[in-house]
Amino acid sequence: MIRTALAAALLLAAPAPALAKDDTPAADPARLKALVEKLVAFGTRHTLSSATDPKRGIGAARNWGAGEFARISKACGGCLTVERISDRFEGPRAPSGVVVENVLAIQKGSDLNRVIIIAGHIDSRVTDPMDYTSDAPGANDDGSGTALVLEAARLLSKDKHRATIVYALLSGEEQGLWGGKLIARHAKDKGWQVVAMLNNDIVGGTHGTDGTIVDNRVRVFSEGIRASEDLAAQLARRGIGGEDDGPSRALAKAAVRAGEANPAIGLEVLAVRRPDRFRRGGDHLPSLELGYPAIRFTVGIEDYDHQHQDLRTENGRKYGDTIDEMDFPYLARVTALNVALARELAAAPPAPANVSIDGAVSSDTKISWTQVDGAAAYRIYWRRADGGDWTHSQLVPADTAAAGRTLKGVIVDDNFFGVSAVSATGEESIVTFGGLPPAQ
């Protein structure tokens, strides 16, 4: 049945990609609110706060997170393995050093080693990044991301997936992106093939500082020029104009596609072509340094009075990252988008390792790529070389990989090309950009 549908689809050179998605995952605003309330109740979750106090501080919060994962695992017959990874970090924001611990829940897939990471940071802060005693509710930053990770685990653990999914509650973000470093290093040590690192940091608000409301849009930040590439790789990329098409950018475009394919979620994805917000950072950056496709989800508009602020009222104006400033139906939508994207990528085959293009001094372009195990089809993409988004695509059968495909009348100089791998049920990998030398 499904194969027939795919065969029928292959006959059509579809102008735009469409993901065969049926249901919108039901992320629950009330549940998300209860999770953030619980996180706020730990008083502060500053990385330098108590690791041992049973009620207040980062340690109590992490233990609670591990307990939530265990509860979710019980409901899926033990499908999650809860792990804690830790290391000691030292820096200007922890001069005497601190043990940073991440709490992970691992849902093993049939392709054990292909990993999708869904992350948020559990630590919080106030105005002074060294103040580890004052109340730091961190409701939106990043109670929202933490709650999203737990809710995504609850929803995605209802099904088995092809890729392994790692749900990650990170610490030490506000002190130096240490939890992000720890998870990236752990992935490398374990030899994970990271398909995607989805960092969710400040994802539960819709009010801007000036009162503007944005409740139908989420921003996704991705790098263009890759932090992980050496000079030779950078020069090769420069030579073909691939600055806008690294794996992180391709992942951001997959997020855009997931939004478009699931209109019921009601979120437009604004794919900002920067690694993060202007002069600011997040826990996906260390993953980018190691070459993993990583993106940051964050609200469509920020309220600077309600992040990293001491709780206070000045001239009738309230400051502080408190729960009353949040929008839980919105957080549920961002959660649903993460779930839809993770579900898609977890079911898709790996992206082609290499895509070659050929066509210098010719009217046509020939495109070929390395075969992918488990791919039932591939989608070739192209666009004019003065634009950023793919405008044309063609679904081609699995046996095209070896032979390649010639695009008649498409001039190699004037266009960019890429290829994704598609499963028998229509799920699609991120797009591999064409024309780079074979990956190491």
Number of residues in contact with Zn ion, rule: CB under 5 A? 3
Amino acid found at 417: F
Binding residue for Zn ion, selected from 68, 101, 123, 141, defined by CB under 5 A: 141
Helix (H, G, I), strand (E, B) or coil at 28: coil
Measured CA to CA in angstroms, residue 382 lies from 6, 223, 409 at distances of 21, 20, 13
Segment lying near Zn ion (by CB under 5 A), choices 3-11, 109-117, 136-144, 264-272: 136-144
Q: How far is the CB of 202 from Zn ion (least distance, A)?
A: 6
Q: How far is the CB of 274 from Zn ion (least distance, A)?
A: 16
Q: Based on CB atoms, which residue is closest to Zn ion, 294 or 422?
A: 294
For residues 421 and 349, the answer to whether their CB atoms sit within 8 Å is yes
Q: How far is the CB of 419 from Zn ion (least distance, A)?
A: 35
Bridging pattern class, strands 111-121 and 163-170:
parallel
Q: How far is the CB of 201 from Zn ion (least distance, A)?
A: 4
Instruction: Tally Cβ neighbours within 10 Å of residue 336.
Output: 25
Segment lying near Zn ion (by CB under 5 A), choices 135-143, 153-161, 233-241, 380-388: 135-143
Please write down the HEC assignment for all residues of 161-213.
CCEEEEEEEECCHHHHCHHHHHHHHHHHHHCCEEEEEEEECCCCCCECCCCCE
Q: Based on CB atoms, which residue is closest to Zn ion, 114 or 121?
A: 121
| Binding status of residue 201 toward Zn ion by CB under 5 A | yes
| Binding status of residue 142 toward Zn ion by CB under 5 A | yes
Q: How far is the CB of 169 from Zn ion (least distance, A)?
A: 13
Binding string, residues 278-317; x marks residues near Zn ion by CB under 5 A: ----------------------------------------
Q: How far is the CB of 388 from Zn ion (least distance, A)?
A: 27
Q: How far is the CB of 380 from Zn ion (least distance, A)?
A: 38
Q: Tell me which residue has tokens 């995605």.
A: 156
| Binding status of residue 223 toward Zn ion by CB under 5 A | no
Q: Based on CB atoms, which residue is closest to Zn ion, 107 or 206?
A: 206
Segment lying near Zn ion (by CB under 5 A), choices 85-93, 140-148, 187-195, 402-410: 140-148
Q: What is the largest CA-CA distance in the chain?
A: 71
Closest by CA position to 187, among listed 218, 156, 228: 228
For residues 326 and 144, the answer to whether their CB atoms sit within 8 Å is yes
Whether cis (ω within 30° of 0) applies to the bond prior to 276 is no
Q: Based on CB atoms, which residue is closest to Zn ion, 201 or 276?
A: 201
Please write down the HEC assignment for all residues of 278-329.
CCCCCCCHHHHHCCCCEEEEEECCCCHHHCCCCCEEECCEEECCCHHHCCHH
Segment lying near Zn ion (by CB under 5 A), choices 30-38, 184-192, 196-204, 373-381: 196-204
Q: Based on CB atoms, which residue is closest to Zn ion, 142 or 151?
A: 142
Q: Based on CB atoms, which residue is closest to Zn ion, 91 or 263?
A: 91
Residues at the contact surface with Zn ion, assessed by CB under 5 A:
141-142, 201
